[in-house]
Structure formats: C-alpha cells, structure tokens
C-alpha cells in the first residue's frame, strides 16, 4: 500500500547528507566568523547604514 510504503521510507542517506552539509557549512561559517574574521573590518562595515545623510534618534 502507498501509505505503508511511505511510512517505511526513511531515506536516511539523503537526510544525513543534508544534515551533514548544513552542519559543516554552519561550523565553517561559525569558526570563520568567530576566529578568523577581522574584527576591525566588521566594526567598519556595520557603520554603512549610519554613514549616509540621514541621522536617526538624537540623545
């Protein structure tokens, strides 16, 4: 039966490949961001929205 076939279907390889792909990509991004990336560079680029003509709240 269709339902039984579907219920039994697990395709662990595909799920595992997808998960591992995500996990290692995530790990790569995490490690690069936390360890390798240049902090000064981030400090600079996060100012992009604040360096145009508009100014926001005044203290």
Partner 1 sequence: MSLQMDELKTQHYDDKTVVHFLWATLFWGVIAFVVGLLAALQLSYWGFNLNLEWLTFGRVRPLHTNAAIFAFAGNAIFAGIYHSTQRLCRVRMFSDALSKIHFWGWQLIIVSAAITLPLGFSQSKEYAELEWPIDIAITLVWVVFAINFFMTLKNRKEKHMYVALWFYIATIITVAVLHIFNSIEIPVGYLNSYPVYAGIQDALVQWWYGHNAVAFFLTTPFLGLMYYYIPKAANRPVYSYKLSIIHFWALIFIYIWAGPHHLLNTALPDWAQTLGVVFSVMLWAPSWGGMINGILTLRGAWDLLRTDPIIKFLITAVTFYGMSTFEGPLLSIKAVSSLGHYTDWIVAHVHGGTLGWNGFLVFGMIYYLVPKLYQTDLYSKKLATLHFWIGLAGILIYYLSMWAAGITQGLMWRAINEAGQLVYPDFVETVTAIVPLYWVRALGGTLYIIGTIIMLYNLRQTVKASKGLREEKVTAPLTERKKNDHEDKGHRKLEGMMVTFSILSFIAIAVGSAIEIIPILTVNDYAKYEKVIEPFSPLEIAGRDIYIREGCYTCHSQMIRKLDFDVLRFGKASTIEESMYDRPFQWGSKRTGPDLARVGKKYPHLWHYKHMENPRSTVAGSIMPNYPWLLDKKTDFYSLRRKIYVLKSLGVPYADEVVKNADKVAEEQAKIIADELRAQGVNDDKLEQKEVVALIAYLQELGQKPLIRNINLEK
List of residues contacting partner 1 (CB under 8 A): 1-3, 5-7, 9-11, 14-15, 17-18, 21-22, 25-26, 29-30, 32-34, 36-38, 41-59
CB of 18 to partner 1, least distance (A): 4
One-character DSSP codes across 1-59: -HHHHHHH---HHHHHHHHHHHHHHHHHHHHIIIIIS-HHHHHHHTTGGGSSS------
- In angstroms, give the least distance from the CB of 37 to partner 1: 7
Find the shortest distance in angstroms from Cβ 52 to partner 1. Answer: 4
């Amino acid at each position: 039966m269709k339902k039984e076939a579907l219920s039994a279907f697990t395709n662990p390889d595909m799920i595992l490949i997808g998960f591992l792909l995500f996990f290692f990509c995530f790990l790569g991004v995490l490690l690069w961001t936390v360890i390798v990336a240049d902090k000064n560079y981030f400090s600079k680029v996060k100012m992009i929205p604040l360096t145009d003509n508009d100014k926001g709240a005044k203290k």
